Amino acid sequence: MSAGGDHIVSPKIYVTIWLILLAFTGITVAAAYQNFGIFNPIIALTIACTKATLVILFFMHVKYSPKMIALVIGCGLFFLSILMVLTCADYLSRAWIM
Amino acid sequence: MSTATQTSLALEMPSDTYLNSSYGVKSWFLTGDHKRIAVMYIVSISLMFLLGGVFATLVRLELLTPAGDLFQSDTYNKLFTMHGVVMIFGFLVPSIPVTIGNFLIPIMVGARDLAFPKINLASWYIYIIGMIFMLAAIISGGVDTGWTFYTPLSTQYLTTHVMFTAIGILIAGFSSIFTGLNFIVTVHRMRAPGMTWFRLPLFVWSNYAASIIMVLGTPVLAITLILVALERGLHIGIFNPALGGDPVLFQHMFWFYSHPAVYIMILPGFGVISEIIPCFARKRIFGYSAIAFSSIAIAVFGFLVWAHHMFIAGISTYSALIFSFVTFLVAIPSAIKVFNWTATLYKGSIHFDTPMLYALAFIGLFTIGGLTGLFLGAIGVDMHVTATYFVVAHFHYVMVGGMLVAYLAGMHFWWPKMTGRMYPEAPAKLSALIVFIGFNLTFFPQFILGYMGMPRRYHSYPPEFQVLNVLSTAGASVLAVGLLMPMFYMLWSLKYGEIAGNNPYRATGLEWQTTSPPPTHNFHETPIVTQEAYDYESQTEEVEVVG
């Protein structure tokens, strides 16, 4: 546990990340008032993923942790992508049948 | 094996064990000792098993006659739902990992405890809280969605206690995650000197594989249940078409967890069998690496087959083809295990002790369960038999004929290690035989019923199905006798059983090198491992390992 746990992150970085997260929340709200058509969900999900990445990297200390931790998180994301890709494959290919 | 019988008169119980290191309620409920937590889990899941068994008994009694004369249809719906929920989430998912796994994995890897003892204790409390929610749902009227909670039935049309039950399952899921996390970290970080990955017992490999699924899959179930709650409670449209949702999305998310969950249940059972077969065949296991890697392959491929539960749910034909193909692929690592166990038996010096009887029953019953799974993975056959008793029979051949039989095998095998005393061999063999006969009499007729077209989840059926249903109910009563017997004779053995000694089976593995029962910290000195896991063939008659 020591490799990641020993790293001391300065309050300045925490505050900076927090402000960035607040800014993205503001962008999310602002984007909700605009109609980007097909890009609506894409924009919302991009913002959400960016925020999640910042939280994982800085607040959860993955940026400062051993590579094994990153590997574990990568595995989780990989399996999540299996769920999404194969589920979407079903939805997208339903219309192909004659 | 007669070793214990021959030498028990000369044996004494060790003075320093995890059972007598401290006394009082507090010493158990605040313990960090993985062995005590395992014992607490054994009691807890046994109670849930009894409860699930009561529901199963009532279901089988209703199906004795074609007319729905014992229960109203609504009550019957609740009975089979609660049987499924209690058995799956209260017994089958935790079962081997939290009991035998909890007790043995630290000892098998040569550690003093699991990596996170407090998280281990927390997992038990979380499990209990989850079960309290489930029991509250049952006592306050029950739930009738089926254990699958299909939407929009569960989110819109039913007024039973879906939320209570879902919360219970959600909470119990965290217990599962905690256990999986503990096992993964323990296996990675706490192996004794010399305990390389390929010296690990196969029980550890299989629990490690199951832990991967627990950690990766269970959160998806949690998310799915939260979404059901959001739709049911706040009417946010996610699964209900009337609210703009998609019911098939629920099935995708539910089965993404619940199919791998079947492997959470059965993989530790594979591990038990891999320990017992070489011990009672007195042979090195055939194909150690193949069995080890097949566990990992099952864990990975198990995540790629979920939509075979949805062939009639309106999924795309192309998608169904892919899922059907991958379903056939996942049979390969399972078959690798069965062939390797069988090859281990070949020219072995086989001893038909109770654990071995259960292990042999497992091979036969799991093979039937697995092969009928291939029937269901074939789209054409599945269209015919889906949602019939064929599926019920297949599932029970894997879960009861496989998992439960493996659990019983493991409990008998390691009972002397856990308690320091032997179970009585004669009634144990008799119970194994009764379980085997009762099980087949209960569930084999259901294959035929399903093939003939009898749907599951109905409390009445056409009269032509009665003979097979009577056979099935009769078998269930035989099975119940076989399952109740161990509860009595194992409790009896706690006081009157012969003292087992450290290694009554002359088995390999670190758990047999410490005392029975083990001391609180498992070993008086950290073991140093210099041998492979199943070196039975070089073992001499004089080997009597002392901790």
What are the residue boundaries of the structural domains of chain B, listed by start? 35-513
Determine, for residues A97 and B317 on separate chains, whether the beta-carbon distance falls below 8 Å. yes
For residue A98, pLDDT beyond 70? no
- Smallest CA–CA distance from A79 into chain B, residue: B216
> What Å distances lie between residue B198 and B181, B290, B529, CA to CA?
21, 11, 12
Spacing of C-alpha B336 from chain mean position: 20
Mean pLDDT over B207-232 rounds to 94
Spatial contact of B299 and B209, defined as CB atoms under 8 Å apart = yes
- Residue in B215, B256, B318 nearest the CB of A96: B318
Write out pLDDT tens, residues A51-71.
999 999 999 999 999 988 888
Can you give the pLDDT at residue A94?
Answer: 87
Split at pLDDT 50, 70, 90, the class of B537 is confident
Site from A67, A73, A84, A87 to mutate, B interface, most B CB atoms within 10 angstroms: A87
Question: CA–CA separation, A48 vs A24, rounded Å?
Answer: 8
DSSP state of B22: S
For residue B538, pLDDT beyond 90? no
Question: CA–CA separation, B273 vs B410, rounded Å?
Answer: 8
Question: CA–CA separation, B470 vs B310, rounded Å?
Answer: 31
Q: Is the ipTM of this complex over 0.85?
A: no
- Smallest CA–CA distance from B305 into chain A, residue: A86
* The domain made up of B35-513 is a member of CATH 3.10.580.10: no
For residue B324, pLDDT beyond 80? yes
Split at pLDDT 50, 70, 90, the class of B34 is very high
Q: Which two tokens mark B147?
A: 């254990």
- Contacts of residue B202, defined as CB under 8 A and 6 or more positions apart, other chains included, come to B270, B271, B274, B275, B285, B288, B291, B292, B295, B533
Range B17-34 burial, b when 16+ CB lie within 10 A, else e: bbbeeeeeeeeeeebebb
Question: CA–CA separation, B321 vs A40, rounded Å?
Answer: 33
Q: What is the mean pLDDT of chain A?
A: 89
Can you give the pLDDT at residue B152?
Answer: 87
Can you give the pLDDT at residue B539?
Answer: 67
Determine, for residues B315 and A89 on separate chains, whether the beta-carbon distance falls below 8 Å. no
Question: CA–CA separation, B18 vs B524, rounded Å?
Answer: 12
For residue B544, pLDDT beyond 90? no
- Smallest CA–CA distance from A87 into chain B, residue: B252
Determine, for residues B316 and A89 on separate chains, whether the beta-carbon distance falls below 8 Å. yes
Question: What percentage of chain B exceeds 90 in pLDDT?
Answer: 89
Name chain B contacts of A97, Cβ cutoff 8 Å: 316-318
Closest Cα partner for B266 from B84, B435, B88? B88
By the CB < 8 Å criterion, does B319 face chain A?
yes
For residue B9, pLDDT beyond 90? no
Write out pLDDT tens, residues B327-358.
999 999 999 999 999 999 999 999 999 999 99
Q: What is the mean pLDDT of chain B?
A: 93
Mean pLDDT over B528-532 rounds to 92
Name chain A contacts of B303, Cβ cutoff 8 Å: 79, 82
Mean pLDDT over B165-187 rounds to 96
Name chain B contacts of A1, Cβ cutoff 8 Å: none
- Residue in B216, B304, B316 nearest the CB of A90: B316
By the CB < 8 Å criterion, does B119 face chain A?
no
Name chain B contacts of A79, Cβ cutoff 8 Å: 216-217, 303
Mean pLDDT over B53-70 rounds to 96
Spacing of C-alpha B129 from chain mean position: 20
Site from A73, A90, A93, A97 to mutate, B interface, most B CB atoms within 10 angstroms: A90
Split at pLDDT 50, 70, 90, the class of A72 is confident
Question: What percentage of chain B exceeds 70 in pLDDT?
Answer: 97
For residue B6, pLDDT beyond 70? no
* Secondary structure of residue B466 in the 3-state scheme: helix
Can you give the pLDDT at residue B25?
Answer: 94
Closest Cα partner for B311 from B320, B303, B321? B320
Write out pLDDT tens, residues B418-460.
999 999 999 999 999 999 999 999 999 999 999 999 999 999 9
Q: Which two tokens mark B529?
A: 């491992």
Name chain A contacts of B216, Cβ cutoff 8 Å: 75-76, 79
Q: Where are the strands (E) in B355-476, listed by range? A: none
Spatial contact of B126 and B172, defined as CB atoms under 8 Å apart = yes
Range B158-188 burial, b when 16+ CB lie within 10 A, else e: bebbbbbbbbbbbbbbbbbbbbbbbbbbbbe
Can you give the pLDDT at residue B3?
Answer: 47
CB contacts < 8 A, A to B, total 48
Can you give the pLDDT at residue A86?
Answer: 93
For residue B366, pLDDT beyond 60? yes
Can you give the pLDDT at residue B10?
Answer: 63
Closest Cα partner for B523 from B512, B508, B507? B512
Mean pLDDT over B55-81 rounds to 96
- Residue in B249, B253, B304 nearest the CB of A82: B304
Q: Please count the CA atoms within 13 angstroms of the CA of B111 that sit on its side-chain side.
A: 25
Dihedral through CA B32, CA B33, CA B39, CA B43, nearest 10? 0
Write out pLDDT tens, residues B372-396.
999 999 999 999 999 999 999 999 9
Determine, for residues B316 and A86 on separate chains, whether the beta-carbon distance falls below 8 Å. no
- Residue in A82, A83, A89 nearest the CB of B319: A89
Write out pLDDT tens, residues B266-280.
999 999 999 999 999
Name chain B contacts of A96, Cβ cutoff 8 Å: 316-318
Beta-carbon count within 10 A of B309 CB: 21
Q: Which two tokens mark A33?
A: 């008032």
By the CB < 8 Å criterion, does A1 face chain B?
no
By the CB < 8 Å criterion, does B321 face chain A?
no
Can you give the pLDDT at residue B541?
Answer: 47
Can you give the pLDDT at residue B15?
Answer: 87
Distance from CA of A12 to the nearest CA of B (A): 32
- Smallest CA–CA distance from A68 into chain B, residue: B188
Question: CA–CA separation, A87 vs B376, rounded Å?
Answer: 20
Name chain B contacts of A90, Cβ cutoff 8 Å: 248, 252, 307, 315-316, 319
Listed by number, the residues of chain A in 31-90 with a beta carbon closer than 8 Å to a beta carbon of chain B are 75-76, 79-80, 82-83, 86-87, 89-90
